[in-house]
Amino acid sequence: MNDSLIADYLRDLLDELADVASFTIEGRQSFEMDAKTHKAVIRSYEVIGEIAKRLPQSARDGAPDVDWRKLIGFRDFLAHNYDKIVLRTVWDAVEDLPNLKAAVEAMLATLDAAEDEDKSEE
């Protein structure tokens, strides 16, 4: 997989994370009381996990602080166990969002820097 496609995936991840942040801006209590917000956040985490699945292991290795396996497993759980979803677990993921966002931004910055270096060598 080329770096351009990986960068696209990382940008998509950042878009989804921004959506989750905007959906949950009013806090946990509002999140817990609004079924539409539950569904929106859960769907975004399904997409986040799917993007994580598509990233090659070599890209995931660039962010060892992210528990990629857990993130992908969370996606699979949300997609296949609608009847067992606990909102507190979803909210825990929301609370960890800044850490995931920082890791993805760092990965993207590394890719962008490598791309800029490649261009300067041409």
Please confirm, yes or no, whether 38 is among the known catalytic residues. no
Tokens (6 digits) for 34: 């609004």
What is the rounded distance in angstroms from the CA atom of residue 44 to the CA atom of residue 20? 7
CA of 22: how far to CAs of 27, 60, 106, in Å?
Answer: 10, 25, 21
Q: Which of 28, 54, 80, 88 is catalytic?
A: 80
Query: Are 1 and 56 spatial neighbours (Cβ–Cβ below 8 Å)?
Result: yes
Q: Which of 43, 54, 75, 88 is catalytic?
A: 75
Which residues are known to be catalytic?
75, 80
